């Protein structure tokens, strides 16, 4: 094996460059060249196949910094349409032209679904990432419990009544999740003191689509109520609990996942669904919808000093801040290991696999690999992993003891002393006032190569990277 390609697809995470760095470091050790494909699957659809040699002469390019958030390769939510064999042939031919022996796709469930048609043409492996922490299984046999195809309604949590044995989880946590929670927890704590001072109800909305892991992780910020997409919000009971807490402490902090649903299964933030290019419903304001319902329901007499209930309730979306910036130690370390593991899986001739992060109480974290088919349901679809019901106390709108066990394994040492030191030294660096932001994209543009450069009669002549 001489040359691999790697791409990053789907929504970015803070740990993508760390994954790329781990993959390139391993490729250097194995004497494999590694080309980064630009802009995820949309780069593959470009007949010029823009790419960046990430380790010329087996030395990692300096722009690839594992501490930098996001991805230097760019990403997109475009996927390869497997039902179009001519297109798949075209893409496979392009990779062949570049002398690519295998592909590492760094992504989540959408990326894995998009990898499938290509995996039939060349060895492909997925290195997982997603802040949503929804790529994996609650137990190895979980796919057999899914009896209905994944439709428009939220996927059911069919995991039996027993508390989850967390050591059996497949892919315990995905790179990006820990940093997202790190941001969310700080947001909740900051919002707390302002809600407390002004006797208000704060509704903090976090990402996570169908999966409530980020909201669950927000429990470290000690919110009064948590609502996750897996548990429909029985509104009357919810409002009753909000007013109870308000009466007690004159303010409330509520954390909700963006994909929460009401008693009928209707998404609070997706009343007129529109979709992104990957077919994902775009969520528009579950927090606002909840605020409206609470404002219409809670009695004005509850809020002394506020003109109306609406004035007493405010919403904050943590938004894309939870997806950006420097990754914390947990993410950097395990993302790099998973990137290296993905290269190893291809090198060991284990195509169509997913690199996974496993956990056991005796040994802590280790990397492994599973066939991609293990994550698919009987209809061939990779489903988002949902928060197991034993992680959540539905009665009290809060994390359960088993959920705490799960979070402790990830977060107890998630932040390193280097992370704290970096904040101290970097945030108010006076150099930041004297200089403008220097985007890595500018330097990387010089490194982009193409298979067939535009306006050249003899394409091969331009690219020195031709095999
Ligand atoms: O899929 C990852 C994710 O972070 C989701 O939690 C969120 O719904 C979505 O991305 C937001 O995506 P966009 O960048 O397209 O707004």
Give pLDDT tens digits for 168-227.
999 999 999 999 999 999 999 999 999 999 999 999 999 998 999 999 999 999 999 999
> Most confidently modeled of 36-40, 158-162, 278-282?
36-40
Strands (DSSP E) contained in 328-395 are 353-360, 364-371, 392-393
* 293-317 pLDDT tens trace: 999 999 999 999 999 999 999 999 9
Regarding whether 23 and 80 lie in a shared domain, the answer is: yes
The pLDDT confidence band at residue 457, using thresholds 50, 70 and 90, is: very low
* 353-397 pLDDT tens trace: 999 999 999 999 999 999 999 999 998 889 999 999 999 999 999
CATH of the domain at 98: 3.40.50.450
Q: DSSP 3-state assignment of 218? A: helix
Q: Which of 337, 361, 383 is the last residue of a domain?
A: 383
Mean of pLDDT values over 81-87: 91
pLDDT score of 30 more than 90: yes
Q: Which of 277, 303, 323 is the last residue of a domain?
A: 323
Report the first-to-last Cα separation within the chain, whole angstroms: 13
pLDDT score of 25 more than 90: yes
Regarding whether 199 and 139 lie in a shared domain, the answer is: no
pLDDT score of 447 more than 70: yes
Residue 425 lies in a domain: no
Regarding whether 184 and 315 lie in a shared domain, the answer is: yes
Domain count for the chain, please give it.
2
Regarding whether 215 and 87 lie in a shared domain, the answer is: no
Q: Which is the closest atom of ligand 1 to the Cα of 214? A: 6
Instruction: Take atom 2 of ligand 1 and give the residue whose Cα is closest.
Output: 11
Phi-psi region of 227 (alpha: psi -120 to 50; beta: other; left: phi over 0): beta
Main-chain dihedrals φ then ψ at residue 83, nearest 5 degrees: -85, 0
Q: DSSP 3-state assignment of 344? A: helix
Residue 76 lies in a domain: yes
Regarding whether 342 and 319 lie in a shared domain, the answer is: no
Nearest alpha carbon to residue 124 among 276, 280, 14, 9: 9
Q: So what's the pLDDT on residue 162?
A: 84
Q: Which is the closest atom of ligand 1 to the Cα of 10? A: 1
Regarding whether 374 and 241 lie in a shared domain, the answer is: no
Instruction: Take atom 12 of ligand 1 and give the residue whose Cα is closest.
Output: 11
132 is catalytic: yes
The pLDDT confidence band at residue 256, using thresholds 50, 70 and 90, is: very high
* Cα 405 from Cα 216, distance rounded (Å): 12
Regarding whether 127 and 38 lie in a shared domain, the answer is: yes
Regarding whether 99 and 66 lie in a shared domain, the answer is: yes
Residue 457 lies in a domain: no
Q: Which is the closest atom of ligand 1 to the Cα of 276? A: 15
CATH of the domain at 283: 3.40.50.460
Distance from Cα 11 to the centre of ligand 1, integer Å: 6
Domain holding 332, by residue range, is 3-146+327-383
Regarding whether 352 and 312 lie in a shared domain, the answer is: no
The string of DSSP letters for 137-176 reads BSSTTGGGG--S---SSPPP----SSPP-GGG-BS---TT
Q: So what's the pLDDT on residue 435?
A: 96
Q: Which of 300, 323, 346 is the last residue of a domain?
A: 323
Regarding whether 332 and 317 lie in a shared domain, the answer is: no
């Amino acid at each position: 094996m001489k040359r691999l390609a790697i791409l990053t697809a789907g929504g970015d995470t803070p740990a993508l460059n760390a994954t790329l760095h781990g993959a390139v470091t391993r490729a250097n050790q194995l004497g494999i060249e590694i080309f980064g494909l630009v802009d995820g699957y949309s780069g593959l659809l470009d007949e010029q196949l823009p790419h960046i040699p990430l380790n010329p002469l087996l030395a990692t390019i300096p722009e690839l910094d594992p501490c930098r958030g996001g991805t230097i390769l760019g990403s997109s939510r475009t996927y390869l349409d497997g039902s179009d064999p001519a297109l798949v042939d075209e893409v496979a031919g392009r990779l062949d032209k570049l002398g690519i022996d295998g592909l590492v796709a760094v992504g989540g469930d959408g990326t894995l679904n998009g990898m499938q048609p290509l995996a039939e043409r060349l060895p492909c492996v997925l290195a997982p990432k997603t802040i949503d922490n929804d790529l994996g299984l609650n137990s190895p046999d979980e796919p057999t419990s899914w009896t209905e195809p994944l439709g428009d309604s939220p996927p059911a949590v069919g995991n039996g009544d027993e508390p989850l044995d967390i050591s059996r989880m497949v892919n315990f946590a995905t790179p990006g999740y820990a940093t997202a929670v790190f941001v969310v927890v700080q947001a909740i704590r900051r919002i707390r003191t302002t809600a407390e001072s002004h006797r208000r109800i704060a509704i903090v909305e976090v990402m996570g689509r169908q999966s409530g892991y980020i909201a669950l992780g927000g429990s470290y910020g000690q919110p009064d109520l948590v609502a996750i997409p897996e548990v429909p919000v029985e509104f009357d009971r919810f409002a009753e609990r909000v007013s109870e807490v308000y009466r007690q402490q004159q303010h409330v902090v509520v954390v909700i996942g963006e994909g929460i649903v009401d008693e009928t299964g209707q998404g609070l933030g997706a009343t007129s669904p529109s979709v992104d290019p990957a077919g994902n419903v775009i969520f528009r304001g579950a927090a606002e919808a909840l605020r409206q319902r609470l404002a219409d329901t809670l009695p004005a007499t509850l809020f002394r000093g506020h003109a109306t209930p609406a004035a007493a309730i405010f919403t904050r979306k943590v938004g894309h801040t939870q997806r950006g910036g420097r990754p914390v130690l947990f993410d950097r370390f395990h993302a790099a290991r998973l990137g290296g593991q993905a290269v190893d899986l291809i090198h060991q001739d284990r195509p169509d696999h997913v690199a996974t992060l496993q956990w056991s109480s005796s040994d802590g974290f280790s990397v492994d690999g599973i066939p991609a088919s293990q994550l698919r349901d009987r209809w061939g679809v990779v489903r988002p992993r949902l928060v197991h019901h034993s992680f959540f106390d539905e009665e009290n709108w809060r994390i359960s003891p088993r959920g705490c066990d799960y979070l402790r394994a990830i977060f107890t040492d998630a932040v390193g002393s280097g992370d704290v030191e970096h904040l101290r030294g970097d945030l108010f660096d006076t150099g930041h006032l004297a200089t403008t932001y220097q985007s890595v994209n500018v330097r990387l543009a010089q490194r982009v190569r193409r298979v067939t450069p535009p306006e050249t009669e003899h394409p091969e002549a331009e690219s020195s990277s031709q095999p």
